[in-house]
Amino acid sequence: MAKAADFNLFDAEERALAAAEQLRAGLDTAADPALRDGLAALTDAYSRSVREQRRLVRVSDRQHAQLNQLNQELARRRAEAEEALARLKEAQETLVQAQKLASLGALVAGVAHEINTPVGIALSCASHLSDATAGLRRMFEADDIAVDDFERYLATADDTARLIQANCERAAELIRSFKQVAVDRTTSERRRFNLADTINETLVSLGPRLRQAGHAIGVDCPPGLEIDGYPGALSQVLSNLILNSVVHGYDEGQSGRLTIAAEAGEGDTVRLTYGDDGSGIPEEFRGRVFDPFFTTRRGSGGTGLGLHIVYNLVTGPMGGHVALEPGPGPGARFVMTFPRNLSDASPAPDVSRPTGPAGAAPAAGP
């Protein structure tokens, strides 16, 4: 439409120029030369104006074509960027899930190590009792059994039975704790749970790792603090914080003390504080500790996902907030606040891209 209008405009201008030329030719015999010269100058100026307008229209057409080409290229680049972003988010989610499975694998290894001790003791006691029974049977068949022999056997049977029962109960308790933690981790079931029990069950699975490194852990939690939420998310959060402290907070052979403290917060909330006395997080990294894939130990076992997962779980399923706060001493201190009843939680923020400080370890750095 615009080009058709331009052509119509130029046609009218051409007709006006033709009429001006005819008028100019008719005035060639006029007596007044000034009139002839003025008309000639006007006609030439108008002709130049028409040529300039035609040139500007051609330039405009070229620029319009270039603009359309740039818009098409921009749309293509935008589509490629959106596709790359989608692939990046998918890869990030895959890595996060792999990190969670790795944490569950560490849990399995820890519980297997814990169960090995009571089961081994129970097996040794059962073997000893079997040998004592076989010896008593031989003396009975040889009619060579005395009261002292029978009394010694009864004492042995009593001691071994008591040890077998105690260690089997210990193994059963470990299996029950592991089963509950594993189910919570894998099903994301929302239920009502006791906070102290969930903390202790999580620490059972991490016990071998802590003892191997010589770390002590202190827990200060009211025994009757009940929560309606996701215990699996809480267990994952504590595991990530503790393991990050063990890996990043202390040098080889150095032991420390980890602390977990819980209390009822303002309103119907829970305030959970985790800390260690390790080397702490450098000041320049504090603003990035929750960013995904940020780590200063890329080649030393750091994935940059530990605290990113913590942030996502606390602000997502748990409906709360988490912050890195300065502590009274060395090390790192994380404070989490979340509702006791999840139905009372305010809408959780978008956790697809945390805006806070990731991946840093809670102690020595990310």
DSSP string, 167-191: HHHHHHHHHHHHHHHHHHHHH---E
Helix axis angle for 33-141 and 306-315, nearest 10°, is: 100
Cβ neighbors of 308 (< 8 A, separation 6 or more) are: 96, 290, 291, 292, 293, 294, 354, 358, 359
Longest dimension (CA), the chain: 167
Cβ neighbors of 123 (< 8 A, separation 6 or more) are: none
Give the model's pLDDT for residue 107: 63
Cβ neighbors of 229 (< 8 A, separation 6 or more) are: 190, 193, 317, 318, 319, 338, 339, 340, 341, 342
Number of C-alpha atoms within 13 angstroms, CB side, residue 4? 1
The pLDDT tens digits along the chain (366 residues) read 445 555 555 666 677 767 766 666 666 665 567 766 676 777 777 777 778 888 888 888 889 889 999 999 998 899 888 888 888 878 767 766 666 666 666 666 666 766 787 888 888 889 888 988 998 888 888 888 888 888 888 988 888 888 888 888 878 777 766 665 665 555 567 888 999 999 988 887 787 778 878 888 999 999 889 999 888 889 889 988 988 888 888 887 788 899 999 998 877 899 999 999 888 887 777 777 777 666 655 545 555 567 888 888 898 888 899 988 876 667 889 999 999 988 754 444 333 333 333 333 344 444
CA distance 76 to 61: 23
Domain ranges of the chain: 2-82, 193-366
Eight-class DSSP state of 350: P
Beta strands in the chain (DSSP E): 191-194, 216-220, 226-229, 257-264, 269-276, 321-324, 333-339
Q: For domain 193-366, give the CATH number.
A: 3.30.565.10
Q: Which has the closest alpha carbon to 219: 272, 162, 280?
A: 272
Eight-class DSSP state of 353: S
Task: Give 321's strand partners.
Answer: 337
Residue 256 in contact with residue 250, Cβ under 8 Å?
yes
Residue 290 in contact with residue 279, Cβ under 8 Å?
no
- How far from 21 is each of 10, 26, 40, 42, CA to CA, in Å? 16, 9, 8, 11
Instruction: List the structure tokens of 43.
Output: 């006609």
Write the DSSP string, 322-345: EEE---SSSS-EEEEEEESBGGGP
Residue 193 in contact with residue 226, Cβ under 8 Å?
yes
- How far from 236 is each of 4, 153, 183, 186, CA to CA, in Å? 70, 49, 12, 10
Instruction: List the structure tokens of 353.
Output: 């891209």
CA distance 272 to 241: 12
Instruction: List the structure tokens of 266.
Output: 């303002």
